[in-house]
Structure 1
Amino acid sequence: MKKLLISTAMLVVPFTAIADELSEDRVKQLVLEAIRENPGIVFEAARLFEEQQQANQAQAAAQVLADERDALERDPNAPVLGNPEGDVTVVEFFDYNCPYCRQVKPHMEALLAADPNVRVVYREWPILGEGSVFAARAALASRKQGKYVAFHWAMMDLNGRAEEASVIRVAESIGLNIAQLRRDMDAPEIDEHIQTSMRLSRAIGFSGTPSFVIGDSLAPGLIEADQMIAMVNQTRAAN
């Protein structure tokens, strides 16, 4: 609140006065006087405050991308689809119980079909309950049987919530050995993958699924194939 008050005060009080470290009570008094004379100034102050907040968030996210590029794009403990040697990486944070993640499936398939030189890194980010956690652990465990891709696409086609029973049905339908799958779900690398997803998503500032990192761009929310392709091409051109 004090930051917003100061933003408002700076619109109506000379900069030298602000530099004198006015008390909060004095700032409030000046702001109230300004509002009485020009009520619209509150909206202008709020706009300036919001712009500054967005700029700060963008700067912080850019720093995270620079610092965490290898963890995002080259983590050997993260599944990769598409061309493993591709020149542009798309990172998707997702949850099997997220309806928007399921809606992204055909767009991701279209991207992979349209661009043979793109690689997709999947970050399992189970944030929608115990069923999501079970599904993520099962998906990551399916790598030991070489069936992550088949399991992932089948889970994205699942009708209803991902819970233990439905996840096991999907696993059986693609020929996974269920006893081995359950053993592999407790592997330490699965804990590490999920913990890393949690850490990276918080650091970047993502608040929900799906969320994408494409080059230096962030795309929280559902994006369609055309937008993905455009962002990939933009990243390729920049590189």
Structure 2
Amino acid sequence: MKFRVLPSALAAMMGLSLGGASAQAQQAGSHVFNAQQCGAIVDIVRQALKDDPSILVDAMQSLRQKSMERQQAQNLVGVRANWQAISTAPSYSVRGNPAGSVTVVEFLDPRCGYCRRMAPLVDAFIARHPDVRLVEKVVPVLGPASVLASRAIYAAALQGHYDGMRRAVMEETSKPDENALKDMARQQGLNVAKFMQDLSNPAVAGLITTNLGQAQAVGLDGTPTFVFGQAAVAPGAMSAEQMDRLFDAAKGR
């Protein structure tokens, strides 16, 4: 699949086509080279690619990097236009220092494997940086099970058990159902009847809908996605070092 874009990639890099004695190359260079010379250039490029396929790899990496940079710029436009809303959340979903100098927003799906892998790294990140204010936005993007898990988190939040339920749901490997959620609620010390009723509470649905709208505004393409202040949007799992580097960049912005 990756080779389908190589002709356009090389055209962008060199102004040449690789398809035979390219008329495009001849037209592009007609004011400098004659037709025979243009054909020779195409042959040289073709042979160079055969001799050193790493040229293709470099071209693809360059295109991928430029595409990511363009996407990052577009995402940041959405972040900055909606920052007040994105950085605002109920107090129970704000972790770290509520008055921290840098706000980091995490969009997560409780059923997302990468989000689950990132959970201990996020805990450690907060512990390392006493001036970080981390805002969690739960977004169910992986289907009905994610929706139910997200509803459970916010239903528990109405009884002051947001963090406990979030952790319980994210540690559970099987798909949630009402019986499993009842057990979780019971273990969290919740009023189970109220919890089950709140799964369908319009306020719970409203929180999730708001989060999804904000995720769309920042161009979310998957979970987890981290927003480091108004400096960077970082999709996907990352290392502790990457998180620290992006945090420092946001802090120094």
Tell me the TM-score normalized by structure 1: 0.77
Secondary structure of the residue aligned to 2:121 is helix
Aligned pairs for 1:85-96 (under 5 A) are 85-96=99-110
Q: 2:130 aligns with which of 116, 119, 137?
A: 116
Deviation at 1:193, TM superposition (A): 2.5
Deviation at 1:54, TM superposition (A): 3.2
Aligned pairs for 1:214-233 (under 5 A) are 214-215=228-229, 216-233=231-248
Is 2:45 aligned against 1:38?
yes
Q: Which amino acid aligns with 1:85?
A: A
Deviation at 1:126, TM superposition (A): 0.9
Is 2:218 aligned against 1:211?
no
CA distance in 2, matches of 1:109, 1:36: 56
Deviation at 1:134, TM superposition (A): 0.6
CA distance in 2, matches of 1:84, 1:8: 51
Aligned pairs for 1:121-136 (under 5 A) are 121-136=135-150
Secondary structure of the residue aligned to 2:136 is strand
Q: Which amino acid aligns with 1:38?
A: V
The 3 A distance-change label for structure 1 pair 36 and 201 is farther
1:23 equivalent in structure 2: none
Instruction: State the Cα deviation string for residues 170-209 of structure 1 (Å, max 9, x = none).
Output: 2221111121112222233322322233233333333222
Q: Which amino acid aligns with 1:59?
A: A
Deviation at 1:45, TM superposition (A): 7.0
1:154 equivalent in structure 2: 168
Is 2:204 aligned against 1:190?
yes
Instruction: State the Cα deviation string for residues 33-63 of structure 1 (Å, max 9, x = none).
Output: 6755633689487666545533432221121
* Unmatched 5+ stretches in structure 2: 17-22, 29-37, 50-54
Quote the RMSD (CA, aligned, Å).
3.4
Instruction: State the Cα deviation string for residues 116-135 of structure 1 (Å, max 9, x = none).
Output: 32222111111222111111
Identity between Structure 1 and Structure 2 (%): 30
The 3 A distance-change label for structure 1 pair 100 and 167 is farther
Q: Which amino acid aligns with 2:158?
A: K
Moved more, 86-95 or 74-83: 74-83
The 3 A distance-change label for structure 1 pair 189 and 164 is same
Deviation at 1:11, TM superposition (A): 3.2
2:72–2:233: 8 Å Cα contact kept in structure 1?
Answer: no
1:20 equivalent in structure 2: none
CA distance in 2, matches of 1:10, 1:89: 39
Is 2:252 aligned against 1:237?
yes
Q: 1:101 aligns with which of 103, 115, 124?
A: 115
Larger radius of gyration: 2
Q: Which amino acid aligns with 2:193?
A: A
Secondary structure of the residue aligned to 1:145 is coil
The 3 A distance-change label for structure 1 pair 51 and 171 is same
Tell me the TM-score normalized by structure 2: 0.73
1:11 equivalent in structure 2: 14
Is 2:65 aligned against 1:64?
no
